[in-house]
Amino acid sequence: MRVHVAFTPDEAAEAPTGVVIDVIRATSTICQALASGYERVYCAAEVEEARALAGGLEGAVLGGERRAVKIPGFDLGNSPSEYVEPQGRAVVMSTTNGTRAIVTAAGRCERVLVASLLNLAAAVAAAAAHGEDVAVFCAGVQGAFTLDDAYVAGRVAELLDGASSDAAEAAIRLSRSFASAEEAFHLSHSGRNLHAAGLDADIAWCARESVLEVVPRFVGMHGTAAEISL
Amino acid sequence: MRVHVAFTPDEAAEAPTGVVIDVIRATSTICQALASGYERVYCAAEVEEARALAGGLEGAVLGGERRAVKIPGFDLGNSPSEYVEPQGRAVVMSTTNGTRAIVTAAGRCERVLVASLLNLAAAVAAAAAHGEDVAVFCAGVQGAFTLDDAYVAGRVAELLDGASSDAAEAAIRLSRSFASAEEAFHLSHSGRNLHAAGLDADIAWCARESVLEVVPRFVGMHGTAAEISL
């Protein structure tokens, strides 16, 4: 099995199996929501798309943030801890970088799995079970590399233990250069933004490894939104 | 000074000062050619563009490779050692990834410098002398990340010693994970291709740090070719 990593969605990478990471915080929140009992999560890039979609879905709650703060009129923000007690059957999330990464992976892979540290072991086992090459897509921020996603990509590549591309080798070496996930997350742009917003608890939450057994999968597009479920 | 790294040309990055790296082998060869006495180097993405350009330039030699082998009808391949004794006044190089990286940087930066390990200290000093933010652009291969360019980007970022973006921090950590440039180059996709072509001597040549004092600069476009001189 060959393992490749795209540190940003624009980077060239394709494989039968895709794994998408936006660890702070979209894919952590997706994993938590589905593990908690929500039946599906819809990822929309724009706030108005999310509102319109939620308006047409029974039992949907609206979640998301801009600059780490809950969007006005939305039911929930983007902290995974807000998704432990289901308040409906589905979540419609507004996440720009996460949606872009999922849609990119869906265009290049036969199947797309959603990974965070929370479901690391389960996601790696599911990707390995397909027995085909794997491309790991980091969401990044606005087309740029982020340390937090790259760290998780390194953990995924290390556990997959396949033939690493240059990028997968780099991701493994990068993740090994940190003493812990929390160290990497705190140093990252996304982590510093959470810290500035008083959301250090979210960093600690997202830095826990392999505590959820779920493997969220991309089901298909629902208009312009990516539908995710188990 | 803020320091950013784009591991592939498509990655988001802009700054007043751009530094372009395609260490195996285009930017190493450019540095060597200009240090040896060639007055300018033109980088063309396509072979036929290079041929057409060289046909209209007096004293131009044609250089370049495809799959590590000299292009039929060209004067020189892409080994920097072939450029120690000038055989004309200018070099027209065919280099797909290198040209793309230079053109990308030229579109996003006020000035673009060309770096390799050979001229590392000189390029870093020139970039720092401008006193403005720096974006380092790795050429990569066909839009994908490569270890050899990322290693050199890490060395540039480390020596610039500015405020690192997430990508610059990752590049520094990556370069520190190798015992030497040669170790990184041998492990890289580009280095393995050179090894397979019997060109290990080129890896050793390109892995020497700060042995040339030149700082090649992007002058402007000459049709579809990027013109480089001191």
In sequence order, what DSSP letters do the residues of A146-162 get, joined into one string? -HHHHHHHHHHHHHHTS
In the structure, what pLDDT confidence band is assigned to residue A196 with cuts at 50, 70 and 90? very high
Contacts of A143 in chain B (CB under 8 A): 10-12
The confidence score (pLDDT) of residue A68 equals 79
Contacts of A147 in chain B (CB under 8 A): 166, 169-170
* Residue in chain B lying closest to A187 (CA): B166
Of A11, A166, A173, the CB nearest to B177: A173
The confidence score (pLDDT) of residue A66 equals 84
Query: Using the beta-carbon criterion (under 8 Å), do B169 and A177 form an inter-chain contact?
Result: no
Interface test with A, best of B145, B147, B190 (most A CBs within 10 A): B145
- Is residue B141 within 8 Å of B8, Cβ to Cβ? no
The confidence score (pLDDT) of residue A61 equals 96
Structure tokens at B51: 């041929």
In the structure, what pLDDT confidence band is assigned to residue A10 with cuts at 50, 70 and 90? confident
Q: At what angle do helices B166-176 and A166-176 cross, to 10 degrees?
A: 90
Query: Using the beta-carbon criterion (under 8 Å), do A144 and B11 form an inter-chain contact?
Result: yes
Q: What is the largest CA-CA distance in chain B?
A: 47
CA angle A19-A21-A22, nearest 5°? 155
Contacts of A152 in chain B (CB under 8 A): none
Q: What is the average pLDDT across A61-66?
A: 92
Between chain A and chain B, how many beta carbons pairs sit less than 8 Å apart? 88
Q: From CA B96, how far away is CA B66, in angstroms rounded?
A: 10
Q: Taking 90 as the threshold, does the pLDDT of residue A91 lie above it? A: yes
CA distance A177 to chain B (A): 7
Mean of the per-residue pLDDT values for chain B?
96
Nearest-CA neighbor of A166 among B192, B168, B198, B152? B192
Mean of the per-residue pLDDT values for chain A?
96
Query: Using the beta-carbon criterion (under 8 Å), do A10 and B11 form an inter-chain contact?
Result: yes
Q: What are phi and psi of A98, to 5 degrees?
A: -65, -45
Interface residues from chain B to A (CB-CB < 8 Å): 4-8, 10-13, 142-147, 150, 165-167, 169-170, 173-174, 176-177, 187-189
For chain B, the residue count is 230
Contacts of B4 in chain A (CB under 8 A): 144
Structure confidence by residue, pLDDT tens digits, A115-156: 999 999 999 999 999 999 999 999 999 999 999 999 999 999
Distances (CA, A) of A29 to A21, A144, A146, A208, B114: 11, 21, 18, 13, 43
Q: Taking 90 as the threshold, does the pLDDT of residue A204 lie above it? A: yes
Query: Using the beta-carbon criterion (under 8 Å), do B144 and A165 form an inter-chain contact?
Result: yes
Tokens 């330039």: give the residue. Answer: B57
Q: What is the average pLDDT across A50-79?
A: 92
Q: Taking 90 as the threshold, does the pLDDT of residue B68 lie above it? A: no
Q: What is the average pLDDT across A209-215?
A: 98
Contacts of B7 in chain A (CB under 8 A): 7, 11, 145, 167
- Is residue B10 within 8 Å of B106, Cβ to Cβ? no
Q: What is the average pLDDT across A69-89?
A: 95
Q: From CA A142, how far away is CA B217, in angstroms rounded?
A: 29
Query: Using the beta-carbon criterion (under 8 Å), do A12 and B143 form an inter-chain contact?
Result: yes
Q: Taking 90 as the threshold, does the pLDDT of residue B115 lie above it? A: yes
Q: Taking 90 as the threshold, does the pLDDT of residue B154 lie above it? A: yes
Q: How far is CA B171 from the centre of its chain?
A: 17
Query: Using the beta-carbon criterion (under 8 Å), do B166 and A147 form an inter-chain contact?
Result: yes
Q: From CA A169, how far away is CA B174, in angstroms rounded?
A: 10
The confidence score (pLDDT) of residue A79 equals 96
The confidence score (pLDDT) of residue B10 equals 87
Pairing of strands A2-6, A163-164: parallel
* Residue in chain B lying closest to A141 (CA): B12
- Is residue A8 within 8 Å of A167, Cβ to Cβ? no
The string of DSSP codes covering A15-55 is -SEEEEE-TTTHHHHHHHHHHHT-SEEEEESSHHHHHHHHH
Strands (DSSP E) found in A83-175:
90-94, 111-115, 134-138, 163-164
CA distance B56 to chain A (A): 35
The confidence score (pLDDT) of residue A3 equals 98
Nearest-CA neighbor of A36 among A209, A206, A202, A214? A214
Q: From CA B131, how far away is CA B113, in angstroms rounded?
A: 14
- Is residue A84 within 8 Å of A32, Cβ to Cβ? yes
Of B144, B166, B187, the CB nearest to A189: B166
Query: Using the beta-carbon criterion (under 8 Å), do B8 and A11 form an inter-chain contact?
Result: yes
Is the torsion defined by CA of B41, B42, B47, B50 positive or negative?
negative
**Whole-angstrom Cα Rg for chain A:** 16
* Residue in chain B lying closest to A144 (CA): B12
The confidence score (pLDDT) of residue B202 equals 97
Q: pTM of this prediction?
A: 0.96
- Is residue A116 within 8 Å of A81, Cβ to Cβ? no
Query: Using the beta-carbon criterion (under 8 Å), do B144 and A150 form an inter-chain contact?
Result: no
- Is residue B204 within 8 Å of B25, Cβ to Cβ? no
* Residue in chain B lying closest to A189 (CA): B166
The confidence score (pLDDT) of residue B66 equals 84
Q: What is the average pLDDT across A72-97?
A: 95
The confidence score (pLDDT) of residue B65 equals 86
Q: From CA A227, how far away is CA B86, in angstroms rounded?
A: 60
The confidence score (pLDDT) of residue B67 equals 81
Tokens 């063309």: give the residue. Answer: B44
Tokens 């990516």: give the residue. Answer: A226
Q: What is the average pLDDT across B76-90?
A: 96
Contacts of A4 in chain B (CB under 8 A): 144
Q: Taking 90 as the threshold, does the pLDDT of residue A67 lie above it? A: no
Q: From CA B3, how far away is CA A145, in angstroms rounded?
A: 13
A138-147 burial, b for 16+ CB within 10 Å, e for fewer?
A: bbbbebbbbb
Please, is B48 exposed, middle or buried when counting C-beta atoms within 10 Å of its C-beta (0-12, 13-18, 19+)? exposed
Structure confidence by residue, pLDDT tens digits, B8-36: 988 988 899 999 999 999 999 999 999 99
- Is residue A9 within 8 Å of A137, Cβ to Cβ? yes
Query: Using the beta-carbon criterion (under 8 Å), do A167 and B145 form an inter-chain contact?
Result: yes
Q: From CA B84, how far away is CA B37, in angstroms rounded?
A: 8
Of A5, A144, A166, the CB nearest to B146: A166
Q: Taking 90 as the threshold, does the pLDDT of residue B69 lie above it? A: no
